[in-house]
Amino acid sequence: MRLDALFSDHMVLQARKPIRVFGEGAGRASVCLDGDFADTESSGPFWCATLPARDEGGPYDLTVSLDGEETVLRDVYVGDVYLLAGQSNMQFKLRESSCPEDQWVEWPLLRGFSLARPEAGEPYAPEDGWQVCSRDKAGDFSAIGYHLGEMTRAGRAVGLIICYQGASVIESWLPEGAAASLGISVPLEDRHVDHTWPEYTVWNQDGYLYRHMFRKLPPLSLSAVIWYQGESDTTEAEARVYDRELECLVRTWRGDLGDSSLPFVIVQIADYQPRSDEGWRALQRAQQRAAAEIPFAALVRSADICESDNIHPATKSRLAARIADVLKTLSS
């Protein structure tokens, strides 16, 4: 039996939702957290033991016994866990942002976990476990994630799980064949160049990132998903169907995570001067339509608070503040 890589020292577990501890293999598993106990017996290939929901707190030891072999995870907290999903503007690091290094602060209760990305260059991998935000590590955190954690922590632990890949298209984040099942078929010549750009074709295959990144996450409980993607789907033909694809993504991810009312924050792509064309504007409108139609979802507008001369606006703190405000509304 094996414990999933998501579970390591310094982990943040979601407060006020079932605490699911899981992994692969057949046999008997038992877990204990601060007096709460759960066990399960599985014939494989997957096992999951569910502890009852609890309020914020920590640090705790999480003890996991797999067929009698015990592992103790130290410095585990219960707080808020956010999934940071999408493409390069979510991937954009604090060290690349307009926030000067002398303002980076050590936040012992801000922790991050990196799902494996197909592109090289992410400083941490799943085998590195949860990373505590120290001054020397802060620059490698997602800029939006760092500022969001700073703005929402309020004395409790905040966990950030990265699930992003630059230059990724929405079809890759959906299950294979999902678009076709919706009756959506956009000819290749009417799609954004990122669909066929040689460097990106590995991860922009239909369903690739859904299988290789997102599906590593369920059934972990989360506080919310922050979705910032769309720049790679900005043709007029793609924008006409993007809202339907995004609605499918939200429905699928919520189903996989076992949380039908999981909040989704949809960040509307910023204005970009070299692409002030109808395709770009139509994609922004599609995101707005999706947010209006999807229950427990909200749109965050970025155009009025981000630079428009770069496809990767350097100012992320104001955007994170707006996301934090929306999260308060969605959770109230």
Say whether 113 sits in a helix, a strand or coil.
strand
The label of the residue with tokens 């409980």 reads 221
Q: What's the confidence (pLDDT) of residue 121?
A: 82
What phi, psi does 125 have (nearest 5°)?
-120, 170
pLDDT value of position 108: 95
Q: In the structure encoding, which two tokens stand for residue 151, read together? A: 């703005």
Q: What is the pTM of this model?
A: 0.97
Per-residue pLDDT at 1: 96
Q: Is the pLDDT of residue 331 over 90?
A: no
Question: pLDDT band for position 61 (50/70/90)?
Answer: very high
Residue 42 corresponds to which tokens in the numbers above?
């599985």
Whether the per-residue pLDDT at 212 is higher than 80: the answer is: yes
Q: Taking all residues of the chain, what is their mean pLDDT, rounded to a whole number?
A: 96
In the chain the domains, ranked by start, together with CATH numbers, are 2-77 (2.60.40.10), 79-331 (3.40.50.1110)
Least confident window among 5-14, 121-130, 183-192: 121-130
Compute the average pLDDT of residues 16-44: 97
Please tell me the predicted confidence (pLDDT) of residue 4.
98
